[in-house]
Amino acid sequence: MAKKILVIGIGTGNPEHVTVQAINALNEARVFFVLDKGEAAEDLVRLREEICARYIRDPGYRVVKAANPERDKASADYHGAVDRWHQDRAALYEALIRDELGADECGAFLVWGDPSLYDSTLRILDQVLARGVIAFDVEVIPGITSPQALAAAHRIPLNRIGAPVRLTTGRRLSHDLDASADDCVVFLDDGSALQGVADRDLQVYWGAYLGAPEEMRVSGRLGDVAAEIDEKRRRARAERGWIMDLYLLRRADAGRA
Q: What CATH class is the domain 146-250?
A: alpha beta
The answer on pLDDT for 178 being more than 80 is no
- Tell me if residue 216 falls in helix, strand or coil: strand
Instruction: Measure the N-to-C terminal CA separation of the chain; round to a whole number of Å.
Output: 51
Whole-angstrom distance, CA of residue 255 vs CA of residue 247: 20
Chain-wide mean pLDDT for the chain? 91
Looking at residue 37, its pLDDT comes to 73
Contact, 199 vs 178, CB < 8 A?
no
Which residues are within 8 A (CB) of 206 and not within 5 positions of it... i.e. 6 or more apart? 194, 217, 218, 219, 225, 229, 245, 246, 247
Measured distance CA(166)–CA(182) in Å, rounded: 8
Give the domain ranges of the chain.
3-141, 146-250
Cα–Cα separations (whole angstroms), residue 117 to 4, 28, 146: 22, 24, 9
Distance separating alpha carbons of residues 221 and 200, to the nearest angstrom: 7
Q: What is the pLDDT of residue 40?
A: 57
Confidence of residue 236 (pLDDT cuts 50, 70, 90): very high
The string of pLDDT tens digits covering residues 145-162 is 999 999 999 999 999 888
Confidence of residue 253 (pLDDT cuts 50, 70, 90): low
Fold (topology level) of 3-141: Cobalt-precorrin-4 Transmethylase; domain 1 (3.40.1010)
246 vs 103, more confident: 246
At 31-78, the pLDDT tens digits run 999 988 766 568 888 899 999 999 999 989 999 999 888 887 778 888
Handedness of CA 106, 112, 118, 119 (dihedral sign): negative
What pLDDT digit, counting tens, does each position of 82-131 carry? 889 899 999 999 999 999 999 889 999 999 999 999 999 999 999 999 99
39 contacts: CB under 8 Å, gap ≥ 6: 241
